[in-house]
Amino acid sequence: MSSIFGSNDQGLSAQRQMKVWAIGGGKGGVGKSLVTANLSICLALMGYKVVSIDLDLGGANLHTCLGVPIPEKTLSDYLTKKVRTLKDLLTPTPIANLSIISGAQDDVGIANLKQMQKAKILSRLHELDADFVLLDLGAGTTFNTLDFFISADQGILTALPEPTSIENTYRFIKSVYHRKLKMVEDLLQVGPLIDQAMNAKISQNFTPSDLVARIIEINPEMGHKLKMEINKLSPKLIINQVRTQADIDIGFSMKIICRKYFGIDLDYVGYLDYDATVWQSVKKRKPLLMEYPNSSLVNNFDRIVHRLLKIT
């Protein structure tokens, strides 16, 4: 397995096919920007061309994790048509192959994107000259956040090993599940059944995983369409700030519960050790992996990025 500090010719392929990774989570403060920044750095160090986009439109701070001053041009300029293309927003970082597009800094209203604005951003991502585009999403379960997560080639969840974060992560997965099914026009006629399953509490009998069996009984064709849509959902999970083996094992427990309750495969791709260098790097406004190359987090991120790339 090649290290992130070694180049990788795969990233320089002439037959480029851009991949979009979205990093989300149930609540703020779980490390989404840290994860986005350092996955971006890992990919860039491997030779891939990477663009990180800060879509935490109410509190953009990804630039700080990447050691970049507040960029002069942000998504606000694109949405208000001050610039014509997303490429006009690209700001270089201290890391070769890695650029950032900053979220809005000035317009509070921009945090509530209209459907057309969201569609505009999504439809223009392919114009960026990149192997990977990483989306740093805002906290919570607004339709904007859910839609960016669903639209990505890979959705990555970040959680802390504590009850509130775990509960919020389940809530996020449930919201993604519900939103995805409600977006499929072919499933409109079973909308009430979907709502019933999604409104059930985890302790109740009728769960989202029971939904498929129930609908297959009523309408086999519709049930199999529903199953196909659910099978497309395979979010990745990273547990941040682990201190003990019990913290690490939370990821495996969440995987089992998601399979049982939602009927989906939650892929636990790795964990990040608790490390004080994280906060030191943020205070210094320096990228963590570059400022502290001997941190245990370097190995953590190395393992995670290879798992995400499925490199063995």
Q: Which of 37, 59, 22, 300 is nearest to 172 (CA)?
A: 22
- Domain containing residue 119: 20-159+275-309
User: Which residue spans within the chain are E strands per DSSP?
Assistant: 19-24, 50-55, 91-92, 98-101, 132-137, 154-159, 236-242, 267-273
Q: Looking at residue 125, what is its pLDDT? A: 92
144 located within any domain: yes
Q: Which residues pair with 301 in a beta bridge?
A: none
Residues 6+ apart with CB under 8 A from 127: 85, 86, 87
Count how many domains the chain has. Answer: 1
3 state DSSP class of 203: coil
Cβ distance 206 to 196 under 8 Å? Answer: yes
pTM of the model: 0.87
Tens digit of pLDDT at every position of the chain (312 positions): 355 555 454 443 334 589 999 999 877 778 888 899 999 999 999 999 999 999 876 667 888 888 888 888 888 888 888 999 999 999 999 999 999 998 865 554 555 677 888 888 898 998 899 999 999 997 777 788 899 999 999 999 999 999 999 999 999 998 998 888 777 767 677 777 777 767 766 555 667 777 777 778 877 887 888 888 888 888 999 999 999 999 999 999 999 999 988 888 999 999 999 988 887 887 777 788 888 888 889 999 999 999 999 854
Q: Please report how many Cα atoms fall inside a 13 Å half-sphere around the Cα of residue 310, on the Cβ side.
A: 3
> Domain with 111 in it: what CATH number?
3.40.50.300
Residue 84 lies in a domain: yes
- Please report, in angstroms and rounded to a whole number, the separation of the first and last CA atoms in the chain: 6
* Residue 11: per-residue pLDDT: 40
pLDDT score, position 98: 96
CA dihedral for 192, 193, 195, 199, sign (positive or negative): positive
Q: Is residue 281 part of a domain?
A: yes
> HSE on the CB side for 137, CA within 13 Å?
28
